[in-house]
Amino acid sequence: MPESAKDQAIVIAGRDLGESDRLITLFTALNGKVLAVAKGAKRSRKRFANALEPFTRLDLVLVPPRNGTGFFRIDSAEIKGCFPVILEDVQRFFLASLCCELVDKWTRDADPQLELYRLLVWTFEEIARPGEARRAVLVFQARLLGHAGYAPAWTRCALCGNEIRGAVARMRLDKGGFACAHCAPGDGFVSMGALKGLEFLQQRPLVHVGRLGITDSQFAESWSIVRALHRYHLGEDVFSYGLIACPTKTPHAAFPTPA
């Protein structure tokens, strides 16, 4: 029999499996993303109580699959943190759902990423606090690109390699980032203010990200930029983006779609 092991996890998705079980997608501290069966979860609510609700943080015991193939099994689960305010607020729910959907799309099964797990925990804690939940999700999106290996050089030209000067830059996702206006002439552009802000949010310690002042217009442009980056590198848009109420994108920003 495979040996069980303790781990920490966040529930990022779940669906029914057969007549009595649930199949839960977990993002764990030690094992990365795993699919785990919760035996009898549909038949008896007492066994797992509310532990399998979306966004719940757990201490759990997992039994790995036989021969390294198939699903893990949840032997036991104890709630270490839950966020009822996220479940009760529609927009906070959609923001947290976006984070889960991005993690699911960007990560491979059983690929440990402890720092990404910690970032996801931090993001949910920030979403649940009073204040600007969207900022935390903007931070998450920018940093997730780094974890996936696709963080652009926000303020350096992808064509000439020099620091981008001036107030605007062109988006050149086919070259991995952004370019000087004279290196990539065209109509669509993004502001250097937005790119510098995203660089700050991605690279500074998390305790400092609240220091960046950001207007609705700046936020809308930054949000559109990171959404375009995720869409381009994933080769598809992410469903939850369409559910989130954000300020209208600034009219001068033009963003390409995947080929």
Q: Cite the residue boundaries of each domain of the chain with CATH code 1.20.1440.120.
A: 132-243
In this predicted structure, the answer to whether residue 96 has a pLDDT above a threshold of 80 is: yes
**CATH superfamily, with its number, for domain 5-82:** Nucleic acid-binding proteins (2.40.50.140)
pTM of the model: 0.91
Q: Cite the residue boundaries of each domain of the chain with CATH code 2.40.50.140.
A: 5-82
CATH entry 3.30.565.10 includes domain 132-243: no
Helices then strands, counting H and E runs in the chain, come out as 7, 8
pLDDT per position as a tens digit, 105-120: 999 999 999 999 999 9
Going by pLDDT thresholds of 50, 70 and 90, the confidence category of residue 247 is low
In this predicted structure, the answer to whether residue 81 has a pLDDT above a threshold of 50 is: yes
Which residues in the chain belong to E strands, given as ranges?
Answer: 5-17, 21-28, 32-38, 57-63, 72-81, 168-172, 177-179, 190-191
